[in-house]
Amino acid sequence: MTTTPMRIVHCVRSPIGGIFRHIRDLATSQAAAGHDVGLICDSSTGSAFDNQLLEELRPKLALGLARFPMQRQLTIKDMSATLSLYRHIRDLKADVLHGHGAKGGAYVRLIGSFLAMRGQKIARVYCPHGGSLHYDPNRLEGRVYHALERLMGRLTDGLVFVSDYEASAYESKIGLPRAKSRIVYNGLLPEEFAPVEVPDNAADFLYIGMLRDLKGPDLFIEALYNIRLKNGEAPKAHIVGEGPEEDRYRNMVTRLGLERAVTFHGALPAREAFKLAKTVVIPSRAEAMPYIILETVAAERPLIATRVGGIPEIFGRYAHRLVDPGHIGKLTTAMEAAIEDPAKMTKEAGELRGCLAETFSVDLMNDRITTLYQDIKGILPADGAVPVATDSASAASRAQAVYARSSNR
């Protein structure tokens, strides 16, 4: 299907991790389809690895790559940041503003609404990527962020949820979407479905992800310590990633006497990191639809993961293999089982990979999001085909069922 060219601007606070992977793939596909694409993100976030990925994306961005100071938490500085972003976005004459994460979503919806008041016909699209939906609605911080999300819902034309779980979390914590909404799974490239082989002398375990408690690296380290207490020797392990709590995890490794067993790395490409160890461990406490799970499954690597967010949707009928989040005892047991029976882990990795390519593809992700833009703006594709709309009620009902099943486990 050919598409009518649009001017699309993506905005995200932190250009790192899975959220940036999603934007990078989407922007690349949209540019290849003939759209003019731009990206706005924070100027202070990101390692050398992340900045290199940004620079590789820059030539594909006809509307440019712009970086401004953006704070993670709500602060008075958000007012000056919003003004700076407004001046930049105003001159781009965008057809679509697509915000990713809570901060990116807030900026584009506020600015898009002001531009609409000045007569510019612009679509305001928001993808939470977890974000404020991770907050507990029974705590003050959660109540504040969820109230702001409800207000922002009035300024939203389109919502993209990366999993059924995320859609149900939005409905449960924020309310029924006022805007057109679609559940669009993150996608992988065809070459990512080639298996990754590891050498015989590889370490036992690999943690790969952001170094923050939400992702569970502390649980990973504690499980290694538990195995050492039981067996007298800790398994060899690698920790790949960067984040705000890295020093604390390094100190934890030292305090538990695991320096000889655990090696820290900075950020690495996932398929390169997979070669470091026999089993990947993703002990997250919360997720939306994590790319690292998709990448691990596609590479046919043995995987231990937790039952959070959209991960059960990836595992499908094998979701019973998932570990309860935050349960150090069950995580330790799963890691011990992986050491004892590597052949079983390899077999299960092959089974899990089965139908992934059909559901989680970049082309499908791009098509469903781009046709949502067209639906919002009321424009037909260049070949005259009518975009297929999502049955929001059906999606919400299905999402609520997934949320209820997950919550009851």
Q: For residue 180, tell me if it sits in a domain.
A: yes
Q: Which of 161, 156, 155, 137 is nearest to 147 (CA)?
A: 137
What whole-number percentage of the chain has pLDDT above 70? 91
Residue 52 lies in a domain: yes
Instruction: State the pLDDT confidence band at 73, using cuts at 50, 70 and 90.
Output: confident
180 shares a domain with 51: yes
Average per-residue pLDDT for the chain: 91
As for how many domains the chain has, the answer is 2
176 and 52 fall within a common domain: yes
Please report, for residues 21, 55, 209, the alpha-carbon distance to residue 321 in angstroms, rounded to integers and kept in the order given.
Answer: 26, 39, 21
Residues 6 or more apart whose CB falls under 8 angstroms from that of 317 comprise none
Residue 395 pLDDT exceeds 80: no
Residue 37 lies in a domain: yes
> Among the three residues 357, 374, 390, which one is the final residue of a domain in this structure?
357
Angle (CA) 142 145 147, round 5°: 105
In the prediction, which pLDDT does 173 show? Answer: 97
CA–CA gap between residue 302 and residue 350 (Å, rounded):
8
Q: What is the pLDDT of residue 380?
A: 58
Q: What is the residue range of 209's domain? A: 191-357
Decide which of 296 and 390 is more confident.
296
Domain-located, residue 324: yes
Residues 4-17: what's their mean pLDDT? 94
The CB-based long-range contact list for 336-341 (8 Å cut-off, 24+ gap) reads 336/227, 336/230, 338/204, 338/205, 338/278, 338/279, 338/302, 338/304, 339/204, 339/227, 339/235
Q: What percent of the chain has pLDDT over 90?
A: 85
Please report the pLDDT score of residue 2 as a whole number.
Answer: 54
| Whether residue 119 is found in the same domain as residue 24 | yes
Read off the pLDDT band of 293 (50, 70, 90).
very high
Residues in contact with 73: Cβ distance below 8 Å, sequence separation at least 6, in sequence order: none
Residue 73 phi/psi, 5° resolution?
A: -90, 165
User: From CA 278, how far away is CA 401, in angstroms rounded?
Assistant: 35
Whole-number Å distance between alpha carbons of 160 and 212: 25
So what's the pLDDT on residue 47? Answer: 83
pLDDT tens column, 117-152:
999 999 999 999 999 999 999 999 999 999 999 999
Tell whether 332 and 281 lie within a shared domain. Answer: yes
1 in a structural domain: no
Label residue 99 by pLDDT band (50, 70, 90): very high
pLDDT per residue as tens digits for the range 167-197: 999 999 999 999 999 999 999 999 999 999 9
Q: What is the pLDDT of residue 401?
A: 42
Res 355 pLDDT > 90: no
Average pLDDT on 346-356 reads 89
216 and 131, same structural domain?
Answer: no
Which residue in this structure is represented by tokens 């993961």? Answer: 305
- Tell me how far the alpha carbon of residue 111 is from its chain's centroid: 24
DSSP string over 253-318: HHHTT-TTTEEEE----HHHHGGGEEEEEE--S--SS-HHHHHHHHTT--EEEBS-TTHHHHHGGG
Cβ count near 56 (within 10 Å): 11
pLDDT at 379: 75
Residues 183 and 205 occupy one common structural domain: no
Q: 36 phi and psi, to 5 degrees? A: -90, 120
| Residue 382's pLDDT band (cuts 50, 70, 90) | low
Does residue 217 share a domain with residue 103?
A: no
Same domain, 286 and 338: yes
At 305, which CATH number? 3.40.50.2000
**Is pLDDT above 70 for 391?**
no
Residue 395's nearest CA partner among 188, 177, 187, 186 is 177
- 310-325 in b/e burial notation, b at 16+ Cβ within 10 A? bbbbbbeeeeeebbeb
* Residue predicted with more confidence, 356 or 214: 214
Nearest to 105 by CA among 70, 135, 139, 80: 70
Whether 253 and 236 have beta carbons less than 8 Å apart is answered as no
132/102 Cα distance (integer angstroms): 6
The pLDDT tens digits of the residues spanning 258-271 come to: 999 999 999 999 99
- Both structure tokens of 356: 């992934």
Q: 48 φ, ψ to 5°?
A: -60, -35
